[in-house]
Amino acid sequence: MTMTVADFLADNAPPVEHDQYGRYLLPDPNKPDDGKVPWTRATTWAESVRDNFGLTRWQMRMLARGLVMRGDLIVRLASEFEDNDVADAVIADAQEHAGARARATIGTAMHRFTELLDSGEQPIVVPESVAADLKAYRDVIARSGLTPVAIERIVCVPELGVAGTLDRIFTLGPCAWIGDLKTGEQLWLDTIAIQLALYSHASFMWNGQAWEPMHPVERDEGIVMWLPYGEGRCELWAVDLAAGWEAATELCGRVRSWRKRDDLAHPWLPPADAIPEPAPDDEPEQPESDEGEPEPEPAPSDNGQDKGASSRAEWITGRLQALAADERARNLVALGWPDGVEVRPPWTHDDMMALAALLDDVEAKVQAGWPAPDPQAPASASSAVEPAPASPPERCPPWTIEDDGQVATADDLAALGATLSFANEAQQATLQRWQREAMRERRDFASPPLTRRMWCCARAAIACAFHLTDDDRTRRALTGVIGGYGEGWSIGATIGSLSLDQAERLADAADAYAAGTRPDLDPV
């Protein structure tokens, strides 16, 4: 039995496993022993910057038309109204019936036809509707002198965690280009430069069993074979891949990082300077009467109780003001604030009991304290508690930052963004926390424009978050770099206070620990 090209391609391109999100599941070529990992598709990465308003409107119109044409789908959806799987199936069937998949089906078919032609084989059956298109494609490739050396190959960009299937690699003399087939309207102009730039910067190609080195290609220019269906013409378009790579690393990377942010909102509390100062305990002097005799004294009903309540309200207000400077403490207070209790005095006795209990809990969690005892607590109880320090220790190193103002290069920023794209959720949360700590103490190391020193601090922070994994090891590494670590210093502010040389040494220490050459960073 003679094997056709289709059989040959099918046998030599075994199906690739995908996860539930449609991502390739393939090993990391740099860590082959870690097993299969998900790879973001190149098309998904490129479409981060696409305006999908028109596409979404078109999909909704096709859905509406499909439902009108298929009344049975409406009945099915009504019978399983709460079932999301049924709803998804109804949507797909309705859009399919309205022709929403027709263009995609034609595009897939034309990719297969041209794949056979570039493999040196003729399709077994060529519908008359595409015969002129295929002839135009074959003729333009022949006239160009381009030779396909790779067809439908999966490639990957490890530093971005991106993989995708390129259509072609063409050669002409000593040069090689990425090629991509497009069969519809020119709606691909906004993303194709990014997609092909990703392919051109790939390091590896998948051969069906393992990764092999990527075929060298031009990185400044790619080729689109535009074959509009049913028009009997094919045009070759040059695509600016240098601009596409800049968008892939700078624009798409930032958009995707922004979408993962989860630190943009927290429970609100009034700022410290907005909490009113408590009223003084001293009563104003009573004015004399017109007759020169003093006014009668008020009845001594419960004046002592009122003054005690005022003192306790002042005590609670002072504790709130002390905690307001700490972001974590503010959040804990806001989350635990008793229901029905006003944010400002006057408070009832029960209100103050609830607030005192809350503040005890929060101060214990953030390791803060308030020196003054509860004005209404028994003397024996207050004397048994050792008072906390009157003020918290400094959270920021005292030295002045040494920064010559030299701006980090675009390549450095791109490399930093590429490294950040590999951070998992826990590492991202750690880096965001450290950056907030640094910004609170005016030792920011990650907000543009980045100087060379700030870039080194950011790189060191990433290395610590990736390799040291916890605050204790990071403090140990910082201690070794700067010769000591002050009580109460926050990690983020300390990293933001490093000189360029200190930041480089911190990054080296974290990398060395990951390589197993700094086991002394582990807690005893």
For the chain, domains (ranges, CATH) are: 52-100 (no CATH), 105-259 (3.90.320), 265-276+307-381 (no CATH), 410-521 (no CATH)
Question: Which runs of consecutive H residues, i.e. helices, occur in 70-191?
Answer: 71-79, 84-97, 102-118, 128-144
The enclosing H or E element of 212 equals strand 211-213
| pLDDT computed for residue 349 by the predictor | 86
Indicate the pLDDT class of residue 278, thresholds 50, 70 and 90: low
Evaluate whether 463 touches 510 at the Cβ level (below 8 Å): yes
Long-range contacts of 498-502 (CB under 8 A, 24+ apart): 498/453, 498/456, 498/457, 498/460, 499/401, 499/402, 499/453, 500/402, 500/452, 500/453, 500/456
Residue 26 is given by DSSP the state: E
Q: Which position has the higher pLDDT, 20 or 270?
A: 20
Rounded to 10°, the helix 84-97/71-79 angle is 180
Alpha-carbon span 480 to 365, nearest angstrom: 28
State percent of the chain over pLDDT 90.
34
Q: What is the dihedral of CA 397, 400, 406, 412, to 10 degrees?
A: 0
The enclosing H or E element of 433 equals helix 425-440
**Does the pLDDT of residue 140 top 70, yes or no?**
yes
Which range, of 22-31, 313-322, 363-372, averages the lowest pLDDT?
Answer: 363-372
Residue 518 is given by DSSP the state: -
Residue with tokens 């999909």: 59
**Does the pLDDT of residue 366 top 60, yes or no?**
yes
Q: What is the dihedral of CA 481, 423, 433, 44, to 10 degrees?
A: 150
Q: What is the dihedral of CA 442, 446, 449, 453, to 10 degrees?
A: 80
| pLDDT computed for residue 306 by the predictor | 59
Indicate the pLDDT class of residue 308, thresholds 50, 70 and 90: low
| pLDDT computed for residue 376 by the predictor | 66
Evaluate whether 222 touches 179 at the Cβ level (below 8 Å): yes
| pLDDT computed for residue 395 by the predictor | 76
Among 93-107, 394-408, 459-473, which range has the highest average pLDDT? Answer: 459-473
Indicate the pLDDT class of residue 489, thresholds 50, 70 and 90: very high
Tokens for 184, please give them: 């519809």
pTM: 0.49
SS (H, E, C) 250-279: HHHHHHHHHHCCCCCCCCCCCCHHHCCCCC
Query: What's the whole-number mean pLDDT along residues 391-404?
Result: 75
pLDDT, tens digit, 9 for 90 and up, residues 413-431:
888 888 888 888 889 889 9
Tokens for 168, please give them: 């072609």
**Does the pLDDT of residue 519 top 70, yes or no?**
no
Evaluate whether 167 touches 117 at the Cβ level (below 8 Å): no
For residue 449, whether the previous peptide bond is cis, meaning omega lies within 30 degrees of 0, is yes
**Does the pLDDT of residue 294 top 60, yes or no?**
no
Of the candidates 109, 141, 101, 100, the one whose C-alpha atom is nearest the C-alpha of residue 226 is: 141
Which range, of 301-305, 404-408, 445-449, averages the lowest pLDDT?
Answer: 301-305
